[in-house]
Chain A
């Protein structure tokens, strides 16, 4: 039944999209150059803004947003550097999503995924994404995308984020393309606009290429889906090619400005907390392939917090390939060495030995866990295992 309803909805969306393509193309609306008065917008655009506000409410009500004033303030400052003079036109929020992604709604709401903040290697990379997303807003891609078909991916994506389709938000399907990615033409325009902002603010656009390439390698090697910003391999490859072409066309502008050095220190102070939350989220979702890929990267030991090897060990345990047992134990050992006060690794080791009917090895680990975290999430299980060992 759900499939039939979904198919009907998709059919309707495609039909509406095709129908809306029919009229002769009008010239695109002029880009925004600063804060926007909603009342000054054309009626259609005002309606779009109102509809995406419904979407934003659904994110908030559904508990999708992370209340993190410090990170939001940091992101707002970064955006201000990229888009000086726009001020409150952009509203930046952190969304609890493990994918490496961000999206901009037509009303200037920019949603940055936890997975992006946890995984960008420096401020240049983060700035590249924000500059690109800002370009979607300034060039009013929300209203322009309204003139073309709504994509299937948008529907799927929205359903996943908002946990259903509130009646009032049905009309804001047009806002969904903001989430799932715009048309090829609009993405290129956002690349161009973002590139200009990025270089003008003194960021190094070559870092964006490095990030895209690394993501491309990850998705290729793991067969992973990077949704939204990096929705598919061709789209990711397009970003790489687009950025390379822009850098080649403006080599002087692409060299980072010495007058405005990029300092990732503030990002690096925020990241450990965000990375812990991201690792926990990925682990709880069972995204083992991505955890393994990320936590075995050459810089993982210095880039991720000391508890990271525990999450790597857990990912190996869940994956359970032929050689994963040794890898798991090695990762747990590294976690013990790097984060001796981190209780979950003791629970993991205790459970491993218990499963192998080795109570002599399991008991000290389980006791250690209970000493450190008597009310921890594994406490009940640890006590039960100890009872059985007796």
Chain B
């Protein structure tokens, strides 16, 4: 049976299209030099720890890791009040007390897939970027049984909820990289409106 010329032509077109040189793909990760990073959308600047790399594709703030995401990561996230806790059908507010903010963080974390059994290991007031907020610790295991610890600092202000989150394998990694995270949190500083435009 002979293939019709139309079908043969279409096949050729498809074949040629598949040979087209692919567009260059931007690198997914890039090394971050230690030093101050300004995050206009988050409204903060902070001194990054040396030796960590940044996931470029992360567009909600900053996501860095030292040994790979399954080992540990630090996220800096700024979310408007309307969406900060949308996974639990709640909203943030500028006048949230630290304990109320912690309550929302815990509920939001527990609502994540497979996290209903997460244990809250710490819940206390703490400062972040010069404002009073909260520091909440979590411990959980993933479906493969690996134990993780997580520590989150968060504040609620007029612009939404700002959170610095550190998560790492409990074994070895969490304790090892905790000082780097704490140093990052301690260095966090709010930038004013004019800074945000730069």
What's the nearest-Cβ distance from chain A to residue B14, in Å? 22
* B114 engages A377 (CB within 8 Å): no
What's the nearest-Cβ distance from chain B to residue A145, in Å? 22
Q: Does B142 contact A (CB under 8 A)?
A: yes
- Please report the total number of B residues contacting A with Cβ < 8 Å: 29
By DSSP majority rule, is chain A's interface helix, strand, loop, or mixed? helix
Q: Does A62 contact B (CB under 8 A)?
A: yes
By DSSP majority rule, is chain B's interface helix, strand, loop, or mixed? mixed
Q: Given A61-B144, A163-B143, A351-B97: A96 and B110 within 8 A (CB)?
A: no
* A286 engages B115 (CB within 8 Å): no
Q: Does B22 contact A (CB under 8 A)?
A: no
- Which residues from A are CB-within-8-Å of B120? 284, 377
Contact with A along B129-148 (1 / 0, CB 8 A): 00000000000111111000
- Which residues from A are CB-within-8-Å of B80? none
- B82-119 contacts to A, CB under 8 A, are 88-90, 97-100, 102-104, 106-107, 110-111, 113-117
* B99 engages A286 (CB within 8 Å): no
What's the nearest-Cβ distance from chain A to residue B134, in Å? 8
* A381 engages B99 (CB within 8 Å): yes
- Which residues from A are CB-within-8-Å of B140? 63
What's the nearest-Cβ distance from chain A to residue B108, in Å? 8
What's the nearest-Cβ distance from chain A to residue B188, in Å? 20
Q: Does A164 contact B (CB under 8 A)?
A: yes
- Which residues from A are CB-within-8-Å of B187? none
Q: How far, in angstroms, from A160 to B115 measured CA to CA in the complex?
A: 8
- A56-106 contacts to B, CB under 8 A, are 58, 60-64, 96-98
Interchain residue pairs with CB less than 8 A apart (22): A58-B143, A61-B141, A61-B142, A61-B145, A62-B117, A64-B114, A64-B117, A160-B113, A160-B114, A160-B116, A162-B114, A163-B113, A163-B114, A164-B114, A164-B143, A166-B143, A281-B116, A284-B107, A284-B110, A377-B123, A381-B97, A384-B98
* Other 12 A-B pairs with CB < 8 A, given A58-B143, A62-B145, A284-B106: A62-B141, A64-B116, A97-B116, A159-B114, A162-B143, A164-B113, A284-B107, A285-B107, A285-B110, A318-B103, A380-B123, A381-B125
**B residues near A, CB below 8 A?**
88-90, 97-100, 102-104, 106-107, 110-111, 113-117, 120, 123-125, 140-145
